[in-house]
Amino acid sequence: MGDGESDMGRLFKRAKRGNYRRVVSTALALLGVCAATSARAGDSGAAMVVTTAGGPVAATSRGVLQSYFAIPYAAPPIGDLRWRAPAPAPKWTAPITKSKSAASCLQTGNNAFVSPGGSEDCLYLDVHMPSGKGPFPVMVWIHGGAFTTGSAGGYADATPLVSKGVIVVAINYRLGAMGFLAHPALRDAEGSAGDYGMMDQQAALAWVRANIAAFGGDARNVTIFGESAGGFSVLTHLASPRSAGLFDKAIIESGAYGVSGQLTQAGMEAKSAVALEKTLAGEDAGPACATGTVTAECLRGLPETLIRKRLMSAYSDAIGNLVPSIDGKVLKQTVRDTFVAGANNKVPVINGSNEDENLLFVAMGEMGARFASKPPKLDPADRSFLMSPQAYAKGAESLAAETGIPVRDLTDKYYPLAKFGSDVALQPSRATAAVGTDSTFSCNGANVSARIAAQGAPVWMYEFRDQTAVPLLGAFGGKYVLSLPMGAAHASELPYLFAMVGDAQNAEQRALLATMSAYWTNFARAGDPNGAGLPKWAGFKSGKVQALDVASGGGVQAMPAAGFAAQHQCRTAWAKQAF
């Protein structure tokens, strides 16, 4: 397949590094566009008004939801506030009467699935609440998207959760260069630079503590939860001393992929300088930059057109897989080292991942190859776009050079093609996905759970395993156009927590949705996912991982943690990741 096959081969190496920025941003941004469209379709007239510390906001009634959209939790980070810690939002007097979410923060990428209409003025949140007086448990959703895409509006229909008597707050936070760029000129009085997007999240959590009681929420019962970059954000809050006291429980969905991969401040500053050099070269960046010296005044005066045109992409190219850096303020050391030292915030935790996480990214490679053809070739019966055995072997060679694992151990011992089903054409793609799933998500996730359990904090671990989950990409004209089935891929659990377009569940899937949403909301309510009528979910300390599956796939049941580790090669190929 030439170029297309080569692209898929490179995914093998990217999967191990966790460098899937463009792939996951496309898929999760697509989810956001779909969910926002679905939510707006049910909007109706305004309802009750709540007075926050900043001013009044009016609800929009949407079936079981009362939604308060586009509430500012911080000042617009523009002008002199650009690349600074979030400042308090100006107060207002007239009720905010929005019927949809605020604009997303500036996004990285040129594909059709990046959330449209991004803005620097984006520090807003939405509150979705049930009817009644409460006090209701509060769940604060942190969206995913590789820290470069996504928005609160992508999850505007939280009906599966809110219908069970909780408030869901969905937040925006600065992304990409606007949220994480670091440069010596931007250092604050403490010498720190970067991680502004994480400070935004902390400001939103402080807003929730101060204001959610006005909506009927229990300000002392706040659960943070997020998926992918949102899950890594949750991990970061567990590791950050600045987040202590801002939440009471935490749910990590597919978020343990970068536990030891954070750049130091010096490293982030160096990569940011490369991006700025590419951005400013040959461009009129304004009078403050005319001297050729990069100053804070120069950076805060950059035209937004130049930021959109060059900086966002230049920064992403320079950074690669973006995760928060060790800025000395939000993070003083890596997430892993914080947990090893026992310096993490200790609260009850649900932590988990999906059985086939990296099938999403390998499928994205197939989709890219199909669309690179002129015209695009969208017949799934044409299997020439699948990864070849030769591409798999080449990827294994690259991974062996990077990790020190002998290539024969990878291809013959741990991930032989024959292990991945009887369909020979699918074997290389499935094997590549398994390597990335194990090394990036599953084993890191198990290590996080083990560390939390060893500290004595309550932790429940799950694996989402529904092979019938609705594919998150690849559907065109009502037809799935890829040869590679998605299985229980990255982000495929999201339609079991939020209502999304295309989530046409059958009876089995509806039953799984009811169970998962009950687990999540029970945990938010009482710090334990268990409840009447639900399959027992034993804590990780008991040596169990909860399988979340439809009945025909095995159902919701406990499986041995040792079996999970064996399936994902956590004690063999990836044993060195343990901490």
Are 121 and 9 within one domain?
no
Is the pLDDT at 510 greater than 90? The verdict is: yes
Q: What is the CA radius of gyration of the chain?
A: 23
- Is residue 267 in some structural domain? no
Taking residue 112's Cβ as centre, other Cβ atoms within 10 Å add up to: 10
pLDDT of 28 reads: 34
Are 338 and 484 within one domain?
no
- Is residue 264 in some structural domain? no
Q: How many domains does the chain have?
A: 2
Strand 475-476 relative to strand 349-354, pairing: unpaired
Q: Tokens in use for 97?
A: 């009467």
Are 237 and 363 within one domain?
no
**Which one from 228, 240, 272, 492 is the annotated catalytic residue?**
228
Are 92 and 240 within one domain?
yes
- What is the tens place of the pLDDT at every residue in 432-485? 999 999 999 999 999 999 999 999 999 999 999 999 998 888 888 889 999 999
Q: Cα–Cα distances in Å, from 214 out to 9, 45, 221, 510?
A: 53, 21, 14, 33
**Tokens 């207002």 — which residue?**
92
pLDDT band at 292 (very low <50, low <70, confident <90, very high): confident
- Is residue 564 in some structural domain? yes
Nearest residue to 35 (alpha-carbon basis) of 164, 227, 219: 227
pLDDT band at 35 (very low <50, low <70, confident <90, very high): very low
Are 360 and 344 within one domain?
no
Give the type of residue at 146. A
pLDDT band at 500 (very low <50, low <70, confident <90, very high): confident
Is the pLDDT at 2 greater than 60? The verdict is: no
**Tokens 């978020």 — which residue?**
255
CB 395 within 8 A of CB 432: yes
**pTM for this one?**
0.91
Q: Could you tell me which residue, 8 or 476, shows the higher pLDDT?
A: 476
pLDDT of 16 reads: 38
Q: Give me the helices (H) in 284-349, please.
A: 296-300, 304-306, 312-319, 335-340
pLDDT of 110 reads: 57
Q: Cα–Cα distances in Å, from 356 out to 48, 198, 216, 532, 560?
A: 44, 28, 39, 30, 18
Are 376 and 344 within one domain?
no
What CA–CA distance (Å, rounded) separates 196 from 174?
A: 7
pLDDT of 347 reads: 98
Are 428 and 562 within one domain?
yes
Strand 544-548 relative to strand 557-560, pairing: antiparallel
Q: Could you tell me which residue, 565 or 28, shows the higher pLDDT?
A: 565
Domain that includes residue 226, residue range? 34-257+325-348
Are 119 and 238 within one domain?
yes
228 catalytically annotated: yes
231 Cα distance to chain centroid: 5
Give the CATH number of the domain where residue 205 resides.
3.40.50.1820
What value does the mean pLDDT take over residues 35-63?
Answer: 68
- Is residue 312 in some structural domain? no
Decide which of 283, 317, 348 is a domain's last residue.
348
Decide which of 292, 313, 348 is a domain's last residue.
348
Strand 475-476 relative to strand 136-142, pairing: unpaired
- Is residue 76 in some structural domain? yes
What CA–CA distance (Å, rounded) separates 454 from 349?
A: 13
- Is residue 119 in some structural domain? yes
Assess whether the previous peptide bond of 135 is cis (omega < 30° from 0).
Answer: yes
What H or E segment, with its residue span, contains residue 51?
strand 46-51
Chain-wide mean pLDDT for the chain?
90
Are 99 and 177 within one domain?
yes
Is the pLDDT at 486 greater than 70? The verdict is: yes
- What is the tens place of the pLDDT at every residue in 298-317? 999 999 999 999 999 999 99
What H or E segment, with its residue span, contains residue 253?
strand 249-253
C-alpha torsion sign, points 455, 460, 463, 469:
negative
- Is residue 274 in some structural domain? no
Are 12 and 53 within one domain?
no
Are 341 and 431 within one domain?
no
CB 69 within 8 A of CB 215: no
Are 367 and 252 within one domain?
no
Decide which of 316, 348, 380 is a domain's last residue.
348
- Is residue 25 in some structural domain? no
CB 113 within 8 A of CB 472: no
Is the pLDDT at 12 greater than 60? The verdict is: no
